[in-house]
Amino acid sequence: MKIDIKLMIAKIFAYIWLTILTVVVLFPFFGMLTGSFKTQKELAANPISFPQAFTLDNYKLALFGTDFLEKFLFSVFLTVVSLAICLVVGSLAAYTITKLDLKIGKVRINNFLYILFIIGMLVPLFITVTPLMMAVNKFGLVGSVSVVVLIYAGTGQAFTIFILSGFIKGIPNEILDSAKIDGCSNFMSFIKIILPLLKGALGAISIILILRVWNDILIPLVFLQGTGWQTLTQATYLFQNRYGTNMPGTYAFVALQVIPVLIIYLLLQRFFIKGILAGAIKG
């Protein structure tokens, strides 16, 4: 049996590179997890070692000393509602732009609308904060939770439409034409034909948008100022005072914050991989 030396060397280098990447990615998580079971003194003495004596005091402080459940439920509310709005509106918009004939007079504007949304992806979120704050302040809506939800849902539209448009373009028009012959309206064609085919793409988008909202601190910090509402990301600062930072408590709090995201990723993993592979094949 002939051995392909070049292929074997390539595989060895690939495994070595993947091992290095795995260590680089997991090392901060390892430091956070082990540090959450240490005392402040032990963490300062050796931040990357295993804890000599495991302590759960940091987790008790994170759970019962910060109103963790209230902040967790509020973060879940912001994430779920903004994600639902973003996916519903974004999928309908992508379908409309991609498959329907939109005109102003005799001029078709589908491509113009698509480019307009894509331009939105080029604008960083922090640049929009000042004009948004001026508009929200003018209408007296500073501190409104609904404003935060709409900002998250609105700023996620460009990415959602960009991804879903690529998938919907790959669906043959003959299928939709057949549905119309059978009496389906455009909306029913979307519900019965397009939506079931978008499960993989919607799963992939959901993971990305969930991470974006769950880890964000800028929008709640600016638009919920002066209220009692706080997300988990904002609450991380509760472990700081003028004398220093309780790093073991911070690590425990962040570990509890990461767990829901990991669970969601594991639940949506097959949809995420399917969506990425399908996007690669279409591309």
DSSP readout, 183-214?
T--HHHHIIIIIHHHTHHHHHHHHHHHHHHHH
Q: Which of 81-95, 103-117, 262-276 has the lowest mean pLDDT?
A: 262-276
**pLDDT at position 280:** 41
Report the candidate in 204, 240, 236, 203 with the shortest Cα–Cα distance to residue 220. 236
* Model pLDDT for residues 246-270, shown as the tens digit of each residue: 888 899 999 999 888 888 888 777 7
**pLDDT at position 200:** 81
The more confidently predicted of residues 154 and 281 is 154
Task: Please give the Cα distance from 36 to 57 (Å, whole number).
Answer: 9
Tell me: pLDDT of 119 over 80: yes
Task: Please give the Cα distance from 42 to 221 (Å, whole number).
Answer: 33
Domains and CATH numbers, the chain: 76-225+272-282 (1.10.3720.10)
Distances (CA, A) of 264 to 79, 80, 107, 255: 12, 12, 44, 15
Tell me: pLDDT of 86 over 90: yes
The more confidently predicted of residues 45 and 146 is 146
Please, are residues 117 and 159 in contact by the beta-carbon 8 Å criterion? Answer: no
* Model pLDDT for residues 25-50, shown as the tens digit of each residue: 888 888 888 888 988 888 888 888 88
**pLDDT at position 271:** 66
Task: Please give the Cα distance from 84 to 179 (Å, whole number).
Answer: 27
Task: Please give the Cα distance from 36 to 255 (Å, whole number).
Answer: 8
Q: Average model confidence (pLDDT) for the chain?
A: 84
Instruction: Tell me, rounded to whole angstroms, the distance of Cα 230 from its chain centroid.
Output: 19
* Model pLDDT for residues 3-21, shown as the tens digit of each residue: 677 788 888 999 999 999 9
The more confidently predicted of residues 276 and 51 is 51
